[in-house]
A and B are shown apart, each in its own frame.
Chain A
Amino acid sequence: MGLVARALEETGISTLVLTAAHSITKAANPPRATYVDMPLGYTAGKPHDQEFQKQLLRSALTLGTSIESPGTIVDTGIKWSEDPSWKDKASSGLNNGVVSAEGDTRSERVDVPQYQSEEDRQAAEN
């Protein structure tokens, strides 16, 4: 997403990246980014916790739009939990970070549409 942000900014659009992957965003170096201490897959909050999600967005927008130096990542202070133990197994791409005997637990990258449900497939094809 950092590359997209850089490209959009080059076309004249101000951008703000919301990220839970600090290292990846730092490497791509977008103009403005706000960090949330959330697991991957939960960048914009906890499911069905509307107030948490909204506060996350308010914080990110307020802090992100106050950035004055290109390439800054601001920490929102928003976190998944006071207990950081979820990070012990967190990984990017390899589901839940378990390598060991299970090997690569990612889903196979197939080149046909991957619908959420069969009903979705029918809705798209009809």
Chain B
Amino acid sequence: MQVVFTIYLRTCDDRDMNSSIEPVDYIARTREQYSALGYQPYEWAERPDPPAWVPLTKPLEESRILLLGSGGAYKRGQVAFHWKDDTGIRLIPSDQPATDVRVTHFAYDLEPARSDPNIVFPLDRLNELVQEGFIKSLTPQSLAFMGGIYSVRRTEEELIPALIKEIEAMEIEIDLALLVPV
């Protein structure tokens, strides 16, 4: 574990977060903005303990991938997400073009993603990677939800168990889950 931790530090911490060539420190900025607005500090989920680890067993070209997106995607004909801690899930058929994929979310500019949902839910591109042979296949259904849930408890007690239940109901071998937040 010591080795793991050392590598992690080298990979992620040796950055000057104040420099614009480095990643935007959204935690620091949100704290500043909440403070400026007179809000209570926002509590980010912090999990310093090492995550579970399931080694990959196949190369990408032999892998079946499950896409999960938290940008609030839904399919035309489905009930849209609401914006107040909606912990629901929408199943989106993976074998159909993203033409009828819609997005709804309260916390990012929706216009670009409504123009091209692939920028938050990259279904068309993943299907093209299947056609190219870069990956083997997608699960028949992809999973979409609305990530703007301000309660870690509800995320862990409602959303995550529901996601696991949907995945188990697929009854299919999944080699890699690709998670796309916004």
Q: Which residues of B contact A5 (CB under 8 A)?
A: 51, 177, 179
* Nearest CB on B from A29, distance (A): 5
In chain B, positions 18-67 with a C-beta closer than 8 Å to chain A are: 20-21, 23-30, 33, 36-37, 44-56, 60, 66
**A113 near B82 (CB under 8 angstroms)?**
yes
Interface size in chain A (residues, C-beta < 8 A) = 88
**B116 near A116 (CB under 8 angstroms)?**
no
How far does the alpha carbon of A97 sit from the alpha carbon of B28 in the complex, in Å?
12
How far does the alpha carbon of A120 sit from the alpha carbon of B50 in the complex, in Å?
42
In chain B, positions 109-132 with a C-beta closer than 8 Å to chain A are: 109-110, 112-116, 118-122, 124-126, 128-129
Set A2, A13, A14, A74: member contacting B167, Cβ < 8 A: A13
Closest 6 CB pairs of A and B: A22-B23, A92-B26, A47-B116, A41-B108, A1-B181, A116-B102
Interface set of B (CB-CB < 8 Å, partner A): 3-5, 7-8, 11-12, 15, 17, 20-21, 23-30, 33, 36-37, 44-56, 60, 66, 68, 70-71, 76-86, 102-104, 106-110, 112-116, 118-122, 124-126, 128-129, 134-135, 147-148, 152, 155-156, 159-160, 163-164, 167, 174-182
What would be 9 A-B contacts, judged by CB atoms less than 8 Å apart? A1-B70, A3-B45, A3-B155, A5-B179, A15-B54, A31-B53, A44-B121, A92-B27, A109-B148
